[in-house]
Amino acid sequence: MVDTIRILGIDPGSRITGYGILESVGSSSRYIDSGCICTESADFTERLNEIYSRVRALVIDYEPQQMAIEKVFVHRNADSALKLGQARAAAICGTFGSNLQMFEYAARAIKQAVVGRGAADKVQVQHMVKAILKLDKLPSQDEADALATAICHAHSYPLNNVLLSGSQDANGRSSRPTRSASRAAWRRTAG
């Protein structure tokens, strides 16, 4: 029997943080809610507090068991990456005090899981999220990114459990699976 898992997906940003909440049962996901936390204060610490408070309220209201969040990617601007990292940390801190498990995914992995290409653009992500979740309207880009993060986790989590459960030696000690073992396990579960 497959358990229902409620997942909170977060697309962090210091001005706009997207969130999406799904219920996942096996390979199917059901849309619960999504939106954006828009911070308008000129004071950066006030924006971080808003992100923290709103994520905290989401955790209290929806009681997710797991959170999936996008990893910070540093491209050119180190200052922007630092601000993004702080916004991400504020969102993570908003989950403290709950028994929520946290999982991180690279942006390319999220796009790959939803669109099938790691270099997909935001419009493609929006359209695929709408199609996968059978939404009536196109979600905003930040909402779609958060929902895509939750979808990526919903699809990855069962495989990760298979990999982790099969990665113990004869003495019950965990060992990290190799890439080839990961691929072989994926072929067994996907095929």
Q: What is the CATH classification number for the domain harbouring 120?
A: 3.30.420.10
Distance CA 6, CA 185 (A): 25
CB 153 within 8 A of CB 104: no
CB 147 within 8 A of CB 36: no
Active site includes 70? yes
Which of 11, 23, 50, 145 is an active site residue? 11
Name the strands in the sheet holding 66-70, side by side, starting at the edge strand that comes first in the sequence: 28-38, 16-25, 4-11, 66-70, 101-105
Residue-wise pLDDT tens for the chain (191 aa)? 568 999 999 999 999 999 999 999 877 899 999 999 999 999 999 999 999 999 999 999 999 999 999 988 766 788 888 999 999 999 999 999 999 999 999 999 999 999 999 889 999 999 999 999 999 999 999 999 999 999 999 998 765 555 455 544 444 444 444 444 444 444 444 44
How many structural domains is the chain composed of?
1
Active site includes 145? no
CB 20 within 8 A of CB 150: yes
Distance CA 87, CA 85 (A): 5
Find the domain containing 87 and state its range: 4-190
**pLDDT reported for residue 35:** 98
Distance CA 164, CA 149 (A): 21
Distance CA 105, CA 72 (A): 9
Distance CA 33, CA 59 (A): 12
Cα dihedral 51, 14, 127, 68, rounded to 10, equals: -50
Which of 167, 186, 158, 162 is CA-nearest to residue 7? Answer: 158
Which of 23, 70, 143, 145 is an active site residue? 70
CB 151 within 8 A of CB 143: no
**pLDDT reported for residue 55:** 98
54 Cβ partners below 8 Å, 6+ apart? 17, 37, 94
Which of 33, 43, 46, 142 is an active site residue? 142
Strands 66-70 and 4-11: parallel
